[in-house]
Amino acid sequence: MAPKITDFVEDAGAPGIIAGIGAVLLAPVIIPVVAGIGKPLAKSLIKGGIVAYEKSRGAFAEMGETWEDIIAEAKAEIAEERETPAFEAASTPGDNPGDHGV
């Protein structure tokens, strides 16, 4: 069975009825005021979000480039280590003929 308007009136009591009537009468005045404040506030929040996104995007791009440089340097060092022999013979004093112990 669908609720009747009288059920709502009885449940709300006098303070509820007064508040409801006040809300209906003040709505045409309050809604434009709230909309006037809310729209600039919402626009300000959106602008702040866009600016933060653009700054973070630039910072992440720079961080990515730095990371790529570090990776490239590490790969170059690995390639250089592979080309250099792991063991090089140590030279002894007798190996240099022009030295003659001087």
Domain boundaries, the chain: 15-79
Look up residue 43 and give its two tokens.
Answer: 């626009």
Name 20's Cβ contacts closer than 8 Å, sequence gap at least 6: 12
Look up residue 96 and give its two tokens.
Answer: 């240099």
Nearest residue to 70 (alpha-carbon basis) of 78, 59, 85, 55: 78
pLDDT of residue 87: 60
pLDDT of residue 65: 93
Is the pTM here over 0.75, yes or no? no
Please provide the size of the chain in residues. Answer: 102
Q: What is the maximum alpha-carbon separation in the chain?
A: 121
Given a cut of 60, whether residue 21 has pLDDT beyond it is yes
pLDDT of residue 68: 94
The listed range with the strongest mean pLDDT (25-29, 65-69, 93-97, 98-102) is 65-69
- The percentage of the chain sitting over the pLDDT mark of 90, rounded to a whole number, equals 20
Q: Mean per-residue pLDDT for 12-19?
A: 71
- Which conformational region is residue 13 in: left (phi greater than 0), alpha (psi within -120 to 50 degrees), or beta? left
Given a cut of 60, whether residue 60 has pLDDT beyond it is yes
